Homo-oligomer: A and B are copies of this chain.
Amino acid sequence: MFSVTVREHMMVAHSFQGEVFGPAQRLHGATFLVDATFRRGKLGADNIVVDIAKAGQELAAVVAELNLRNLDEVLPGVNTTTEFLARHIADRLAERARSGDLGAGGRELAGITVTLHESHVAWASYERTL
**Interchain CB contact under 8 A, B122 and A6:** yes
CB<8 Å pairs between A and B, sample of 13: A1-B127, A2-B124, A11-B24, A13-B14, A13-B70, A20-B51, A20-B103, A26-B68, A28-B29, A30-B30, A46-B79, A48-B81, A52-B122
Please tell me the size bucket of the interface on A.
Answer: 35 or more
C-alpha spacing A113/B20, complex, angstroms: 23
Give the residue name and chain of the B residue nearest to A14 (CB): B29
**Interchain CB contact under 8 A, B82 and A31:** no
Within 8 A of B (CB), among A68-95: 68-70, 78-84, 86-87
Note all chain B residues with C-beta closer than 8 A to A2.
Answer: 83, 86-87, 124-127
Q: Is the CB of A61 closer than 8 A to any CB of chain B?
A: no
Given contacts A3-B125, A79-B46, contact A27 B120 (CB under 8 A): no
Shortest distance from the beta carbon of A119 to any chain B beta carbon, whole Å: 5
**Interchain CB contact under 8 A, A13 and B33:** no
C-alpha spacing A97/B12, complex, angstroms: 30
Within 8 A of B (CB), among A16-60: 16-18, 20-24, 26-33, 43, 45-49, 51-53, 56
